[in-house]
Amino acid sequence: MKKTLIGAASALLLFAASCKEHGVPINLTEETATDTTYVGAVETPQAKRVMIEELSGVICVNCPQGAAKLEEMSTQNPGAMTVVTVHAGNLTDPIPGKSKQNLRTDDGENLIKQVWAEQGAKPCAAFDRLPIGNQTYKYFVAGYVDWPNKLQQAKTQHSTSPVKLSVTSAYNDAKDAYEVEATVSYTEPVTDQYALHLFLTEDGIIDAQELSATNIKDDYEFNHVFRKAITPVATGKPFLTDVATKEAGRVYVYRTSFKIDKTDEKQKFWEPKNMKVIFFVAKMAPDDIRIVQVQETKLIP
């Protein structure tokens, strides 16, 4: 953190002075970001939103039903859930002669290895990274039939959040870069340590999906596809670690910028107009990685 400032006016002065950033390809370091903190008026608490991380694959014949179930749940729970679909682990190989692009990511593989340390039978989904999985899984719920019940369980266990999140994204034409600002506002005192995470997802990807051993749909539409983590994928960006108790009214602001590298084998397929920035805050305890709040915005408003 650059500085800890008490008082909104001082914070705004520092914030204005620290906004000279340079966009870089998505391989961010601390040099590409700035942050600041201040104490202001206590804001009204924000409705809790549940983050659902789904594991999927293009050669997973049951995965389209899982995707359809998530769309149904989103319609039934407007504004109450954010979906990130991760193509990692088994059943994710591109279909030879059919797939135009590879939806697998190194970041997705590292989520499996470093965050969940498991992958359920696909399609499967984790809810706010709560240990409410089924069968032999700690986090993942295998079988989409049970997903609506698990969504309600997650909402019941944590119906409120002690932080209010907001996130904005804008394209800077002069820099050919995307500038993201993420704000965490504490609405009650908190002693837990949190980390901030920024993910990129994309909707409307048209590519091949296996529906059965003899049926491949060439123009299947993939949505919520996890493309890349802007912050370190497993640990995120720890913040306010030097503040034992984050009082109500404490505000933390993180700003960063990045470029999409069109020479990159995977990023060249990205369509910014169809992409979102997913912003979430998670606990950092070794035995508790719960997501305490999540919000999202379009990469290009």
Domain count, the chain: 1
In a domain, 2, yes or no: no
In a domain, 175, yes or no: yes
In a domain, 142, yes or no: yes
Q: Which two structure tokens, joined as six digits, stand for 169?
A: 């994204």
Say if residue 20's pLDDT is above 70: no
pLDDT confidence of residue 1? 43
Say if residue 247's pLDDT is above 50: yes
CATH of the domain at 79: 2.60.40.10
- Work out the pLDDT band at 2, boundaries 50, 70, 90: very low
Domain residues for 284?
A: 8-298
5, 11 contact by CB (below 8 A)? yes
In a domain, 3, yes or no: no
Provide the percentage of residues in the chain whose pLDDT is more than 70. Answer: 89
pTM summary value: 0.90
In a domain, 126, yes or no: yes
In a domain, 266, yes or no: yes
Q: Which string of DSSP letters, residue by residue, matches 100-151? A: SS----HHHHHIIIIIIS---SSSEEEETT-S---TT-SSEEESGGGHHHHH
Q: Do strands 250-258 and 33-39 pair parallel, antiparallel, or not at all (unpaired)? A: antiparallel
